[in-house]
């Protein structure tokens, strides 16, 4: 049966504009079909490979476009701030006193300490006991190792509607957490990601080689996920507890390889078609202690994550997306 021939074509720019007028935004575009025949597996191979090849990805016959509604929260969701800390005794009190007021919001702060040798756990207990502010405080010691284990424990114990992370080194100023919260309740995104690579950094906050590595991984992850990310390794992120439960189910299927926990949040945020936005922050010098990161060993682990992501996400089945 023949139908009327199209006289106009809607471009991605046109569709984005129409979506905005209707109160939506495009969060994910995926070229799906290049060869509509199986041909003994050749079609499946082409349909997986071509979306990852520049220029060839424009030859698709079908594109999948996912949109999300842009709407403000009608109420103020409660917030849980997880502060993982290892050998950060000198920063514990400031991590608490420098938090913004979050007026009208119920705020819970969870300290998670792991294997410190400088008395961090004793300091946390002292600060929690003497605190008289508006936040609800609790503290836990992790039995596993690494930041990712600490964050998982904190999120597991959290009761807030929204979950966020504040690294105890305070290189991300606690005062800026309110921007993450505000971006979420304004409906700008479902997943709020900090970006340290926009504003000039303070002093020696990041070594030149580390800076290059952060730029590299941000570009690689943007390519793998099809989402623009200015910084893939900033420790501060915000997500709803409901969406994090979906992340956990995804991680159980995907595997547990992430040394810091950034990728196991960013990967599912993109694949589950959450709206993602960067919040630029001013990255500060440490005022106490030293970094717990081994840039070469951890860099190799992140490369492994990227390779796994390329084969399982970028070249993965549409049905798994």
Span 242-301, pLDDT tens digits: 999 999 988 887 777 677 789 899 999 988 999 999 999 999 998 887 777 667 777 888
Q: Is residue 318 part of a domain?
A: no
How many domains would you assign to the chain? 2
Shared-domain flag, residues 16 and 121: no
Shared-domain flag, residues 258 and 162: yes
State residue 205's pLDDT score.
83
Shared-domain flag, residues 157 and 29: no
Q: How far apart are CA 17 and CA 20, in angstroms?
A: 5
Confidence of residue 230 (pLDDT cuts 50, 70, 90): very high
Q: Is residue 56 part of a domain?
A: yes
Q: Which residues of 248-266 are buried (b: 16+ CB within 10 A; e: fewer)?
A: eeebeebeeebbbbbbbbb
Which residues 6+ apart lie within 8 Å of 7 measured at CB? none
Place of tokens 């309740």: 185
CATH number, residue 303? 3.90.550.10
Shared-domain flag, residues 88 and 66: no
Q: How far apart are CA 150 and CA 160, in angstroms?
A: 17
Phi-psi region of 104 (alpha: psi -120 to 50; beta: other; left: phi over 0): left
State residue 316's pLDDT score.
67
Residue 310's CB is within 10 A of a number of other CB atoms, namely 15
Shared-domain flag, residues 64 and 84: no
Of the residues 49, 70, 91, which one is the last residue of a structural domain? 70
Whether the pLDDT of residue 41 is over 90: the answer is: no
Shared-domain flag, residues 181 and 45: no
Domain hosting residue 25, numbered range: 12-70
Q: Is residue 143 part of a domain?
A: yes
Q: Is residue 319 part of a domain?
A: no
Shared-domain flag, residues 57 and 120: no
Confidence of residue 31 (pLDDT cuts 50, 70, 90): confident
Whether the pLDDT of residue 317 is over 70: the answer is: no
Q: What percent of the chain has pLDDT over 90?
A: 61
State residue 237's pLDDT score.
97
Q: Model's pTM, two decimal places? A: 0.89
State residue 318's pLDDT score.
45
Shared-domain flag, residues 43 and 172: no
Q: Is residue 6 part of a domain?
A: no
Q: Is residue 281 part of a domain?
A: yes
Question: What's the pLDDT tens digit per position in 108-157?
Answer: 999 999 999 999 999 999 999 999 999 999 999 999 988 999 999 999 99
Whether the pLDDT of residue 320 is over 60: the answer is: no
Shared-domain flag, residues 124 and 230: yes
Question: What's the pLDDT tens digit per position in 54-69?
Answer: 888 888 888 889 999 9
Shared-domain flag, residues 29 and 164: no
Q: Is residue 4 part of a domain?
A: no
Shared-domain flag, residues 101 and 225: yes
Shared-domain flag, residues 40 and 140: no
3-class state of residue 172 by DSSP: coil
Of the residues 70, 90, 110, which one is the last residue of a structural domain? 70
Q: Is residue 320 part of a domain?
A: no
Of the residues 70, 90, 115, which one is the last residue of a structural domain? 70
State residue 1's pLDDT score.
61
């Amino acid at each position: 049966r023949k139908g009327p021939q199209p006289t106009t074509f809607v471009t991605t720019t046109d569709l984005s504009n129409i979506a905005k007028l209707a109160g939506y935004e495009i969060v994910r575009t995926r070229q799906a079909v290049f060869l509509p025949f199986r041909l003994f597996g050749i079609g499946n191979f082409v349909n997986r490979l071509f979306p990852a090849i520049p220029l060839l990805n424009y030859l698709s016959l079908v594109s999948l476009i996912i949109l999300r509604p842009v709407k403000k929260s009608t109420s103020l969701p409660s917030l849980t701030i997880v502060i993982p800390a290892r050998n950060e005794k000198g920063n514990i009190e400031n991590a608490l006193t420098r938090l913004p007021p979050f007026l009208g919001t119920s705020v819970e702060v969870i300290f998670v300490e792991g294997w410190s040798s400088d008395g961090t756990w004793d300091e946390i207990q002292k600060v929690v006991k003497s605190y008289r502010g508006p936040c609800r405080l609790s503290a836990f010691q992790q039995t596993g190792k690494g930041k990712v284990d600490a964050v998982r424990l904190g999120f597991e114990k959290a009761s807030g509607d929204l979950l966020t992370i504040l690294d105890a080194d305070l290189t991300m100023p606690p005062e800026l957490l309110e921007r993450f919260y505000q971006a979420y309740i304004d409906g700008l995104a479902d997943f709020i990601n900090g970006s340290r690579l926009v504003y000039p950094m303070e002093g020696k906050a990041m070594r030149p080689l580390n800076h290059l590595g952060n730029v590299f991984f941000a570009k690689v992850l943007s390519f793998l996920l099809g989402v623009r990310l200015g910084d893939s390794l900033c420790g501060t992120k915000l997500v709803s507890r409901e969406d994090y439960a979906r992340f956990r189910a995804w991680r159980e299927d995907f595997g547990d390889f992430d040394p810091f926990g950034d990728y196991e949040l960013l990967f599912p945020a993109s694949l589950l078609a959450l709206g993602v936005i960067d919040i630029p922050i001013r990255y500060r010098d440490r005022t106490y202690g030293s970094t717990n990161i081994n840039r070469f060993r951890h860099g190799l682990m992140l490369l492994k994550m990227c390779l796994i992501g390329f084969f399982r996400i970028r070249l993965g089945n549409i049905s798994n997306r």
